[in-house]
Structures are given as structure tokens and as C-alpha cells.
Amino acid sequence: MEERQFDASWRRSVYCGKVDGSLEGRSVVLNGWLRCRRDLGGIIFLELWDHSGVVQVVLNPERNEAVHERAKALRSEYVLAVRGTVSRRPEGTENEALPTGLWEVAVDDFLLLAPSAPLPFEIDGADDVDETLRLRHRYLDLRRTRMQGNLRLRHRAARFTRSFLSDEGFIEVETPMLTRSTPEGARDYLVPSRVNPGNFYALPQSPQIFKQILMIGGCDRYFQIVRCFRDEDLRADRQPEFTQIDMELSFVTEEVILDLLERYTVGLWKEVLDVTLPVPFPRLTWREALDLYGSDKPDLRIPFSLVDVRHVFEGTDIKAFQAVLEGGGVIKALPLPGGADLSRKDLDGVNARGQALGAKGLAPFQLRDGALKGPLVKFLDEGRQRLLVEAAGLKEGDALFVMADGSWRRTCEILGQLRLELARSRSLVDESRWAFLWVTEFPMFEWDDEERRWVAVHHPFTAPMAEDLDRLQTDPGSARSRAYDLVLNGTEVGGGSIRIHDPRMQEKVFEALGFTAQSARERFGFLLDALSFGTPPHGGLALGFDRLVMLLCGAKSIREVMAFPKNQKAQCVMSGAPDVVDTRQLEELAVRVDLPLE
């Protein structure tokens, strides 16, 4: 390190990525990291980097021999302050790939602010580096242009969110990070209480109950960009701690909330990407989404959907199909544009994949040279063949996969998964589109075989459809909820519902979920009490902020849009969390750790 210190004379006068013709002939001071060093014929060229970009700086011994000599010791990622004069690059040496590529800075002097240890990976080539290594050295990974862009886009999205919702009459309210554990949803992260030995807080999975209480408290419109915690198995779009845009509104119906979110989304895409989204977004009920696309978060960029072909096969001599129909089952089909080029081996592969997903088998058809081909064609006369082609919307060169099964939902979901996989493998996804969709009218409950009871599909505070109230006791599985999800390109980016504001209705829902009056009061007594003091009709929605930013950035994982994510074992490989703690700390918390012997 140099004896000279960083002072006001060495503070930047311009960011590296902002050097342009307006500065030609002027003396500037740059602060940044040395990204690349080249020594060509005695002249040393450096690329100096900061978050705004890079600029070339030149050290010529004829300009200052002593400064040039000192520069020979510089290495990658050294932190420098550089003083010099902006000039145009010599003709033929311009770099049009860089915003600063027409300009360079002739160095008069530089100050070494901090050296760098040898790098574990080259930052410019870090896209191809193992993610674990990058996460271990996240401070280096964050210097990548991609990561800087992702974090700054995230900031712009958060800034727009606060501005938009504030203009819509929302107030930002912070809710507790230390709350009580609830039985629904994923596992809680528990925090022992030192001052209440044997008792535990839970980190919030969402601020659900608190935001409803804010509505009871007269806040009318609340929002929060809030941290949430769930102790669950991780995937590309999940983390143990994540951020959501949380909001709740009083005296509203579904239409108010869906309109608000469409306007917010349109504004966000315009602000961040300068893209104009078409509105209104299409809507499908949960049942329609499953029936057409085999998913409750369908990707509408895929140009084909499932079709019902039961009527084509009724009364044929295909015994397996007739047995399914007699048992009240379904026969559905998945058309595949261009699928007539699939070989026998390819068709067998699709069938094997279907069987791995739970199908007994898939019957393939191909339309080639104007004729329908396939092992079951012999069971269909010309009329039925034409009917099948028309029902599936087949064109010359297409294929069709038919599945018969006793379960409508299983059939839809298997064909829906195959739809995704075949579209991706055959490049049939229209990557140029932003395909938004509202999915509504989800089931209120689904049966949990392990717990032998009904559980809430969303959460137990979701209001049922008015026409399904009687089903809460008589047929819970058929009751629909006033819930809605926002889907983008096959990813659920948000979800919400109109909430229950009648304490008697809330008690009925708890009863349907298997809670006794006593257990419901033990768990949710403070909410039930609050509901009894004049609760306005209200509803809300939470958007997965990490997922939104991931999609806006075109990233493959939310880890790419979070500054310090965990890996798929919920570990921070940079800091070493989680880790063991001192025995004294455990004693103060009245906690004992018993680990099984290995």
C-alpha cells in the first residue's frame, strides 16, 4: 500500500461507465477496480471498472515514467484512484461493444487504494463458474455486470412499487418479525425466547393475520415489501427467506384488486423494460386451467392445449378405453404441432415418460400424407378418424397423444407436464411474449392423506364462493374459494383472496379443517376476537418480489436476483450459516440439543 491516503483530491469526478465526448480534453478522477491489464510495447492499458461500466485507461512512459513503472505491479481487482485526461481513442482501436469504447483516459497519476488476493475465478468469465464457488465468494460474484444489473433492476422495481401503491392510497406498515407459530402452511422457523423459557416465537411465513387486523383497525389500504420465512425444501424459485410485496384493501371485491394489480404490472413493465403489456389479462377458473393446460399455472406461450376426445372413442372396440368410460373416467389428448417427425423410438420415449408420471400408457397418432397413423387407427373407421382430427385440431405433420384414466385431475396433470416438456425440448415456447393470466375459483380444500383431513389450498382465512357455503359441511372438496393467482409464463408470481370477515363463517371453515372450537381459539383466538368487533369486507394479494425480478431480468433462479441467497441446503456458504452456537447461549435460552449418534 502507498503512504499517500485517499482524500478529497482523489474522489471520483465521473463514473467509469460515464466517460464520453463531453469530457474530451478534461482532467478527470476515476475510482474503481482493475478489471483487465495489458502491456503492449511498453504502454500499459488498464480497464477500470465500477458499477456503471468500464473505461480504458492508458499509462504511457513518455507521459510519466515513474507512474508507468509503478503500474507494472498492478493486478486484477486492485482498487485504484486514477487521475488523467480524456481523449479519443486512436482510429482503429475503438471498441463499439462498450458505451465508453470511443474514449480513453491518459493517466497522469494513480493511487493504489487496496490490493487483491489472487482470484478464485475470473469475474468476466464467472457465468460458467460453479455456483457453489461463486456463492462462497459472493463479494466477487456481485461485481459481475449481470449481478449489478439484476440488483439495480430490483431496486428500480421496489422504488416503482412504493411510488405506485402510495399514489393509490396505500400506507406502508411494518408487521412483526417475531410472532407465534400457526399450524397451516410450511414449517415455521422457530426462535426461542430467553425471557419466556420454553416458549418460542416463529418467523412469519407471511403477514397474513396482521394485515387483516390492520383492516379491522381502519387502515383501509396497507402494503409492505416484507421478508418472509418458510422452512421447506428448496427449488430454483424458492429460498428459506424471501421477499414479497404484501397488500390488503378494505371494502373491495375481486374486480378492484385484479384491476389494481393489472395497472401495477403494466406500469412496472413499462418503467423497467419499456414494454407495453396488453390488458386486460385473460382469466381462467382453476378447473378451466386444469382442463385446457393440465396446470393451475399454465404457460400460455405454448401454442397447443389439451382436448377432450371421449366422444371419439365411445363405442369402439378398444377395451381399455371402454373400461375407463364405463367407470366414469375421461379420455383426453395432447396434440403436438410438427410431431409427425417423431420416430418410433421417440414415441416410445414419450409413452415411457407418461408412464413415469403415472399414466398407464399413451396412444400415439400421427397425421402424415393426409392419413392418420398409429397402432389404434385400425379400431377407428374413417368417420371416427376425421372426428379425431377435427376434435384435436390436427394439421398435416402433427402428432397426438391420447390418455384414458379414471381420474380427470391425474389425466390433466400428466398431459400438462408432457405439454411443458415437449414444448421446451422442441423449442415451441414463444419466448418473445409476456403471457400473463389470472386463475380464479380455486378449491377451498384438498384432502391430506397423511393427516386424514381437509387442508386449505391457500390459507384458512380465504372466503368461500357465496353459492358454495352449504358445501363447507356437506361436501368440502367441491367448495370453491374467492381466491386468485397471477401467473406469468407458467410461473405463479402472486396470489391472494377475498378474506372471511364474518367470525361465524370463519368458525365454519375451521370446523371443516378439523379444528375443534377449543383448538381454533388456542391458535387463532386473537383473530377471532378481532373479527367480532366490526370487520370490513376486505381482501388482498401478495406478489413474489424475487420471482417478479427473476422474470424481469431473464434469470434462471431467484438466487441470481438476491444479494446473499442460500444454497439448496438452506446454507450460506459464504458466512457458514447455519452453525453451532456456544453452550452458554443455549443454556440461557433453556434449549438442549440432542443429535442422533452417527
Q: Give the pLDDT confidence score for residue 125 in this predicted structure.
A: 82
| Identity of residue 195 | V
User: Does 544 belong to an annotated binding site?
Assistant: yes
Report which of residues 448 and 76 the model is more confident about: 76
**DSSP state at residue 187:** B
Contact 269, 275 (CB under 8 A): yes
Taking Cα atoms as reference points, which of 476, 450, 467, 465 lies closest to residue 500?
465
Does an H or E element contain 494, and which? strand 491-498
User: Does 507 belong to an annotated binding site?
Assistant: no
Question: Is residue 117 pLDDT above 90, yes or no?
Answer: yes
When pLDDT is cut at 50, 70 and 90, the band that residue 521 belongs to is: confident
Residue 591: CB atoms within 10 Å: 14
Proportion of the chain above pLDDT 70, given as a percent: 98
When pLDDT is cut at 50, 70 and 90, the band that residue 41 belongs to is: confident
Question: Is residue 3 pLDDT above 80, yes or no?
Answer: no
Distance from C-alpha of 100 to C-alpha of 22, rounded to nearest angstrom:
12
The per-residue pLDDT of the chain, averaged, comes to 94
DSSP string computed for 77-140: T-EEEEEEEEEEPPTT---TTSTTTTEEEEEEEEEEEE--PPPSS-GGGGGGS-HHHHHHTHHH
Q: Give the pLDDT confidence score for residue 388 in this predicted structure.
A: 97
Q: Average of pLDDT values for 99-107?
A: 97
Q: In what order do the strands lie in the sheet with 399-405?
A: 307-308, 330-336, 399-405, 363-368, 371-373
Q: Which residues contact 415 (CB under 8 A, 6 or more apart)?
A: 294, 306, 332, 333, 334, 401, 403
CA 445-450-455 angle, 5° bins: 15
Q: What is the pLDDT of residues 390-425, one digit of tens each?
A: 999 999 999 999 999 999 999 999 999 999 999 999
Q: Which residues contact 231 (CB under 8 A, 6 or more apart)?
A: 186, 187, 188, 189, 240, 570
User: Does 499 belong to an annotated binding site?
Assistant: yes
Residue 24: CB atoms within 10 Å: 13
Proportion of the chain above pLDDT 90, given as a percent: 88
Map 194-242 to HEC letters. CCCCCCEEECCCCCHHHHHHHHHCCCCEEEEEEEEECECCCCCCCCCEE
User: Does 546 belong to an annotated binding site?
Assistant: yes
| Identity of residue 133 | L
Question: Is residue 598 pLDDT above 70, yes or no?
Answer: no
What does the block give as the cell for 490? 407458467
pLDDT-wise least confident of 13-27, 229-243, 323-337, 422-436 = 229-243
User: Does 458 belong to an annotated binding site?
Assistant: yes
What's the distance, Cα to Cα, between the start and end of the chain in Å?
50
Question: Is residue 492 pLDDT above 70, yes or no?
Answer: yes
User: Does 137 belong to an annotated binding site?
Assistant: no
| Identity of residue 225 | I
Question: Is residue 183 pLDDT above 70, yes or no?
Answer: no
Question: Is residue 252 pLDDT above 70, yes or no?
Answer: yes
Q: What is the pLDDT of residues 200-221, one digit of tens each?
A: 999 999 999 999 999 999 999 9
When pLDDT is cut at 50, 70 and 90, the band that residue 597 belongs to is: low
Helix axes 145-167, 545-553, angle to 10 degrees: 130
Distance from C-alpha of 63 to C-alpha of 109, rounded to nearest angstrom:
10
Name the pTM for this structure: 0.93
Taking Cα atoms as reference points, which of 97, 98, 80, 85 lies closest to residue 58?
85
Question: Is residue 182 pLDDT above 90, yes or no?
Answer: no
User: Does 232 belong to an annotated binding site?
Assistant: yes
Distance from C-alpha of 185 to C-alpha of 213, rounded to nearest angstrom:
20
What does the block give as the cell for 419? 405439454
User: Does 294 belong to an annotated binding site?
Assistant: no
